[in-house]
Amino acid sequence: MPSSDFADYLCREHCPYYRIGTAETLACQGALTVAALVGRGRLPRAGLPEGTFPIPPTGHMSGLDERICGRCEFRAADCDFQAHPPIPDSLPCGGYRLLVLLLQSRRLTDADLATIDDV
Ligand code: SF4
């Protein structure tokens, strides 16, 4: 993940793939989506869970797989969760996990995700 605002509040805390001290220039689509929703005022940053939060998905959410992972630069080579063939018990990135949590708690809707297709 890049050294950025959302790297501090999202990737560092919640992503199993985040490596402290790395200077990657790309960001996964999960993180970019959360950052866009925060930046557009749809998700108050103050209301986001802090520290560790439950890992909600026991499997894939088809809507996120298509809309988020389908446009992610890390999907092809760097994401165990979306690997082909599947890697058992692999975790999604922090952005995906947070989006699932927010969808399940109805703080976000599919319509919200449709508004960030340009991210
Ligand atoms: S789960 Fe993997 S492919 Fe999907 S957004 Fe996260 S890093 Fe990208």
Task: Show me where the domains of the chain are located.
Answer: 5-114
Atom of ligand 1 nearest to the CA of 94: 6
pLDDT of amino acid 81: 92
DSSP string for residues in the chain: --SSHHIIIIIHHH-TT--TT---S---HHHHHHHHHHHTTSS-GGGS--S------SS--HHHHHHTGGG-TTHHHH-GGG-SS--TTPPPPHHHHHHHHHHHTTSS-HHHHHTTTT-
pLDDT > 70? residue 47: yes
pTM for this one?
A: 0.86
Highest mean pLDDT among 9-18, 33-42, 45-54: 33-42
Mean pLDDT (whole number) for 90-113: 90
Give yes or no for residue 1 CB within 6 A of ligand 1.
no
**Ligand 1 in reach of 94 Cβ (< 6 A):** no
Pick from 6, 11, 79 the residue to mutate for probing ligand 1's pocket: most ligand atoms within 8 Å of its CB. 79
